[in-house]
Amino acid sequence: MKNSLKHLFETKKENLLSIYFSAGYPALNSTTTIINQLGKTGVDFIEVGIPFSDPLADGPIIQKSGSIALKNGMNLNLLFEQLESIKDTNTIPLIMMGYWNSILQYGVHNFLESCQKVGVSGAILPDLPMEIYVKNYKTLFEKYDIPMVFLITPQTSEERIRQLDNISKSFIYAVSSSSTTGKKTGIESSKEYLDRIKNYQLKSPLITGFNIKNKSDFQFACKFTQGVVIGSAFIQSIKSETTLEKNITEFVSEFN
């Protein structure tokens, strides 16, 4: 498939830039505008956030954007309709990021089938434990070719990281700190942790996120991992619906 994340990792090994945003923010129909504009700026892949009422891992910026998106009327049915409308023109891999309860309410089969239909390249579901995934859902995810992206933190043991690496069919998301997203501590405070996981020489690509705000953070993180995810800083830059495309271009240009 032309927007395959697997193909991306086979062809580009370093300095990957991923952007996270909450679908339905700042306006209900912003989703396709954001994806299309990010495509024009040269972003490598995109994490599409599924707004949820109780996002445990998210800091205040992402929580607020998700809350606004829900008030705007965003839901999974509408999100898949929006992604369907651009599936033939979008060439950037899309990852769905959300919480397991949303997927259960929508229906796991329905979710995976819809992801496959619109060309989604993977899913990040932070509150779905590895053991439950392996026991009950791994076969189903693989049937639809929607790889699970697993998260690790500075507290994750080497043994567990290697377990996740063994079952991973995609990248591993190295959360740079144990706090929520968008904290003020810099990425450089995570040097020891990032260096440690780099030295594990995992088979899966490593992408790091949380607390990456500028080009300096991006360059620092890419010394240890294949790339980064930027969420809170990007969301702060797209508050205005009327200047959305301009703001996206200006934000991403800093990292080129």
Could you tell me how many residues make up the chain?
256
Secondary structure percentages of the chain, helix, strand, coil, to 5:
45, 15, 40
Whether the CB-CB separation of 245 and 35 falls below 8 Å is answered with: no
Pick the catalytic residue from 10, 54, 58, 113. 58
Instruction: Please pick, among 47, 113, 145, 254, the residue that the annotation labels catalytic.
Output: 47
Phi, psi of 20 (to 5 degrees): -105, 140
Instruction: Confirm whether 127 is a catalytic residue.
Output: no
Is residue 50 within 8 Å of 98, Cβ to Cβ? yes
The DSSP element (H or E) to which 46 belongs, if any, is strand 45-49
Complete DSSP assignment for 190-219? GHHHHHHHHHT--SS-EEEESS--SHHHHH
The answer to whether 123 and 146 have CB atoms below 8 angstroms apart is yes
Largest CA distance in the chain: 49
Active site residue 58: yes
- Inter-CA distances, 112 with 46, 107, 117, 244, Å: 18, 9, 9, 30
Residues with catalytic function: 47, 58
